[in-house]
A and B are shown apart, each in its own frame.
Chain A
């Protein structure tokens, strides 16, 4: 099936990108491979017919946040010789795998033993802007407002911190 092929493609890209983020030495390579992961995740959302989440994933994460991070990497202009020598990283990697392995096995077991629920096809408007908006502003209004206040607080905090440094000079 076409959708199955796309699903496999996106999952492979998501996992490979995430692995690249951890394994690449240069921060620019790591950031760019993380962009691949984020775009692949957006593709998975689109396969689930979550159109709004797909667009927001692309605008906010793949577009805005990652371009700021890459902007900062460019600003710092890190060269190969500025990076710390990572000796024995594969030793740590293997150790990490051994530590994480039981958790992974547990998760696989949990996923395999999930009760098989009937898959139903979602309605025509599922995941559209209007449907998500209506749900968000009727059932989830309070959490939504709390999150916006949290964002506002961090925004004001950033401005205050930036302003302080300016007056000291």
Chain B
């Protein structure tokens, strides 16, 4: 192993481990601001450090500090303390580990070596996701059962029954997808989606499997226990469901696990149906061929985007009433300076690339970085869809939820398999 190999292993594992954790902060922030937006209010905008509020992100820090310093109680009536402590860890770790097989850039070619850009370069792809996602049920069951509380047990029962029944339509939707792609490897699936249909439409899963994508997204929402499927923590009926007895850090881990699961399933949805890291019409070969024009285009676009962002900050980051020496304007000045600093940094990097390094290995790294950005942008949007749905739709009733799973999604996904296989056989 050369030092480059070791460096790339560290980079990939670090990406797989830290990006989901960073996205917990982004998702919580997006949830709060999104909820506020849908309900026509401002959302968190008071917590600050020296007057800097970072658009509400500081609120996350305040919440984290609050949760850290809360007393971590294990109620006296709990007999199986080991399972009580183990349950939140299972929920969080399974969500984190299932992200490990998601490719965040095309296979990186440096010299004569190829590096699969996944945290674990494994070719069983989607099977790994299904296996690890199945383990998350243990966390919920153990939490509900070991809480030894009727609300906890009811929440655990509901949630486990829901996850187990929605795993079936999800698996069947994946089967019809496998028929189309002809592989279980997520990297190969993403490469497949870089092709063009009839020469001008990107061959994304969402176009090839319009029914499958609906089934998969509904099942993924149910698996992540998000509204409209969050019966497990229906506050009006069973208080907080399976985490009613949890407090302090153990509740935090549950909470983080929920958001990591949301990020991971967004990443899987993006990889399976929305082209993964592929930029539409620009697959890896095209990007490599036109690396210099693409770099010039990005160099031209970045200042324009920077200008719009700066104008947006200037317009919105002000007090809504007259104030002497408005501290928010001062805050906005600093933000705008940071934005322009970032623009200059990006321009400098691209300039150095064009002058010294264009052609050769730097092209591959540039393309990989562009693809990582594309992947993260798509995944962020998918996370926003989660927030969007949560604050738009009301909760299902429990019997409606099970009926939807077994009476509608299951037959539809079976039908989807038959139709897909018929078309694939007819075309081949």
Contact = CB atoms under 8 A, between A and B. Distances in A.
Contact of A59 (B80, B122, B127, B137): B127
A89 B359 CA distance: 74
B130 interface: yes
A67 interface: yes
A63 B157 contact: no
A52 B126 CA distance: 11
Interface in A113-164: 128-129
Contacts of A55: 124, 127-128, 130-131
B160 A71 contact: yes
Interface string A52-78: 101110110011100110110111010
B134 A74 contact: no
**Dominant SS among interface residues on chain B:** helix
Interface residues of B, number: 27
B68 interface: no
A27 to B, nearest CB: 11
B138 A70 contact: yes
B145 interface: yes
B123 interface: yes
Contact of B124 (A52, A64, A70): A52
Nearest to B133: A63
Interface of A: 28, 32, 35, 51-52, 54-56, 58-59, 62-64, 67-68, 70-71, 73-75, 77, 80, 128-129
Contacts of B131: 55, 58-59, 62-63
Given A67-B164, A77-B153, A54 B138 contact: no
B284 to A, nearest CB: 24
A51 B123 contact: yes
Nearest to A128: B123
Contacts of A35: 138
B124 A67 contact: no
Given A63-B134, A67-B141, A68-B164, A74 B123 contact: no
B206 interface: no
Contact of A74 (B122, B135, B160, B184): B160
Contacts of B157: 71, 74-75
A71 B137 CA distance: 9
A68 B130 CA distance: 16
27 contacts: A28-B83, A28-B145, A32-B83, A51-B123, A51-B124, A52-B124, A54-B124, A55-B131, A58-B131, A58-B132, A58-B134, A59-B131, A59-B134, A62-B134, A64-B134, A67-B137, A67-B138, A68-B164, A70-B141, A71-B137, A71-B141, A74-B141, A74-B145, A74-B153, A74-B157, A128-B123, A129-B184
